[in-house]
Structure 1
Amino acid sequence: MQHSLLGIHHVTAIASDPQRNIDFYTGVLGLRLVKVTVNFDDPGSYHLYYGDREGHPGTIMTFFIWPGAPRGRQGVGQIHATAFSVPQTSLGYWIKRLLEHGIQYEGPTTRFSEQVLTFCDPDGLIIELVAHLGEQTDSVWENGTIPSEHTIRGIASVTLWEDEPEQTARLLTNTLGFRLVSEEQNTLRYELGTGESGTRVDVRNANGFWAGSMAAGIAHHVAWRAATDEALQKWQGLLDDHDYNVTPMLDRQYFHSIYFPEPGGVLFEIATDPPGFAINEPVELLGTRLQLPSWLEAQRAEIERVLPPLQYKR
Structure 2
Amino acid sequence: MELLTAFGSIFSIIIMIAIGYILTKKEWIDKAGAKLFSKIVINVSLPALMINSLMADFDRAKLLSMGKGLVVPFLSIGLTYLIGKIFIKVFNVTPKRRGTFLSMFFVSNTIFIGLPVNLALFGSESVPYVLLYYIANTTFFWTIGVFEISKDGGGETQGFLSMNTIKRIFSPPLMGFIVAIILILLAVPVPKFVMDTCRYLGNLTTPLSMLFIGNTMYYINLKGIQFNKDVWGVLLGRFIISPLLVVLLCKFFPLPGLMASVFIIQAAMPVMTNTAIVSKSYDADYQYAAIMITISTVLSLFIIPIYKILLQ
Higher RCO (CA < 8 A, seq sep 6+): 2
Q: TM-score range by the shorter chain?
A: under 0.3
* More helix, by proportion: 2
TM-score relative to the length of structure 1:
0.24
* More strand, by proportion: 1
